[in-house]
Every structure is written in structure tokens, then in C-alpha cells.
Amino acid sequence: MTNEIYSRKSIYALSGDEKTALRDAFSVLYTTPEADSQSLESKVPKRYQQLAIILNEFGHYQWNDLLFLPWARAYFWWFEQALRSVSPGISLPYWDYTSSRAIAEGLPEFFTDETYVSSDGTTKANPLLLANYKFPFSTFREVKENTDLLSKAAKLIPEVNNQTGFIDFSLSVYPVDILSHSYIGGSSANPNSASYDPVFWFTHCQLDHLWWQWQKDHHDHEVPVSVKKTQLMPFTKESDEKSVILTGEDVLNTVELGYRYES
């Protein structure tokens, strides 16, 4: 789909300038009017909300089935392209909440700082702290006082990585994702509002990162034909100068989408 290959990295590896660029891009999505192609039942019709509501309108139909990972990969890539339309040099990083650092420190300040200094030198509200949900409500968090749930997720990773088939991997990685939602709590723990919390994109990029790592270690695995051929609504690609809906097969190789992970 693209000749340009860019890298996604851990949020712990981001430079100060990279963090600022990401926050700036989120801020722009919060204030950009939605595109005409999709309406939003909200009195705050902004591009960010238009992207977040896709999970409710399409994604929930993929939960707990074999399209969970392919559809999610297409979704995060779609959101990432919106960020890159603001700042072409950025990519969507992942927060590995199963890492020893995450278990020791909890939710990073990147998401909890109340303010930040933008690229123009002004102090602004941190857009990764919260976002508008549906008027007049905003997202909120009820982060657990300890990181026991993250430790529990970390203990599942060896079993997840040891799965030899796509179906078993898909089923085993799902609880890891759910534990991250439970740890953050609040809007993140509610299926109707989870995608509005800005941290959603970073924890779910980790989900895709886990799949990418597993694919690299199990390159000979087979994906069911039904998964390959199913359309991943509403995401599209350009083919023969027209837009066509992405299929599961289109997203199996991240390089075909234009990105890879640094590690």
C-alpha cells in the first residue's frame, strides 16, 4: 500500500520532541471538524470523536472472534494515518504494560501530566489525559492503586507466545488486553467509551505489537481463509485508483501497511 516504511516504538523510547509532536497531533484531532463521510451523534463533532466511535459502530462485532486482531490492526493503522496527516514524521507508539518498568511505575506521566509545553512553546492541557466523550461528558480514569493486574497480564505472556496457531494465539491474547482495561478503569473499562480515552491507542498498539512479535516467531503459521477474505469495515485502501475495503489478508504483514516495530 505504501513504499514508505516507518517504525513504531515503545513510549519509553520516545524522545522529548517525539512526545511533544504526538501530543500536538492529538490536540489537532480534538479540534478538527469531522469529515463529511461519517456523522457523529454528539454536539462536539470533531475528528477524534469520529475515529473513536468506529469501535462502537463496527469493532464490537469483532470481539472474541477470529477477526479481533486483524480488525484491530486495521483500526490502529487507520487512526495512525490521521495522526500522520497532522505530522507525517510521527507514528503510534505502544505502551507495554506487561514490562517490568510498567509494573514498577504504573501509568506513565506521558498520560497523566496535566499540562505540557507544545512545539510552539506554549503551555497547554495534556491531550492524553482525557478527551471529550459525548456532550457534555469527558473521559475519566480510576487507575488501580497497585499494579497487580499488570503483573497478572505479564504472567500470561509466556503462554500467549507459546501458542503455535493463529486461533489459539487470538484467544489467549484477549485476556491480556482486558486486564489493561481493568487496570486503567473508568472510561477504559466501559466498552462504550474505551476508545475515547487517549490511552486506548497506546495499550492497543501493544496488542498489535504482541501479535507482530508472535508472527515473527511463528512465521509458518496458517491463518484461516475465512479471516483472510473477510472485509474489515470501514477501513479502505487505494487499489487501481479507487477505494476498496481492507480484508484480513491485507493486514497480515505490517510492512504492507507501511510500518514495523523497532523491537
DSSP for residue 261: E
pLDDT score recorded for residue 168: 94
Establish if 15 belongs to a structural domain: yes
The whole-number pLDDT of residue 1 equals: 57
Number of domains in the chain: 1
243 band by pLDDT with thresholds 50, 70 and 90: confident
Residue 257's domain spans which residues?
Answer: 6-261
Residue 57 has pLDDT above 60, yes or no: yes
What is the pLDDT, as a whole number, of residue 60?
A: 62
Does residue 12 belong to any structural domain of this protein? yes
Contact indicator for 129, 194 with CB cutoff of 8 Å = no
Sign (positive or negative) of CA dihedral 157, 191, 259, 31: negative
pLDDT of residue 208: 98
pLDDT digits (tens, 9 = 90+) for 165-213: 999 999 999 999 999 999 999 999 999 999 999 999 999 999 999 999 9
- 222, pLDDT greater than 50: yes
Q: What is the structure's pLDDT at 35?
A: 52
In this structure, are residues 251 and 68 in contact, taking their beta carbons and an 8 Å threshold?
A: no
Question: pLDDT confidence of 37, banded at 50, 70, 90?
Answer: very low
Please indicate, yes or no, if residue 139 is contained in any of the structural domains: yes
Distance CA 109, CA 131 (A): 16
CATH number at residue 30: 1.10.1280.10
Domain assignment present for residue 1? The answer is no
Query: CA-CA distance, 140 to 158, in Å (whole number)?
Result: 32
Q: Is residue 83 part of a domain?
A: yes
Query: Given a cut of 90, is residue 73 above it in pLDDT?
Result: yes
- In contact, 193 and 139? CB cutoff 8 Å: yes
Confidence label for 42 from pLDDT (cuts 50, 70 and 90): very low
Question: Mean per-residue pLDDT for 9-23?
Answer: 98
User: Kind of pairing, strands 259-261 and 6-8?
Assistant: parallel
- Does 108 have pLDDT greater than 90? yes
What's the pLDDT score for residue 39? 38
Q: How far apart are CA 257 and CA 239, in angstroms?
A: 13
Which pLDDT value is given to residue 192? Answer: 92
Cell 511505575 belongs to 105
Look at residue 107 and tell me if it is in a domain.
yes
4/215: higher pLDDT: 215
For residue 38, the model assigns a pLDDT of 40
Q: Please name which of 14, 34, 33 lies closest in space to residue 89, comparing C-alpha atoms.
A: 14
∠ CA(26), CA(206), CA(118), 5° rounding? Answer: 25
Q: Is residue 50 part of a domain?
A: yes
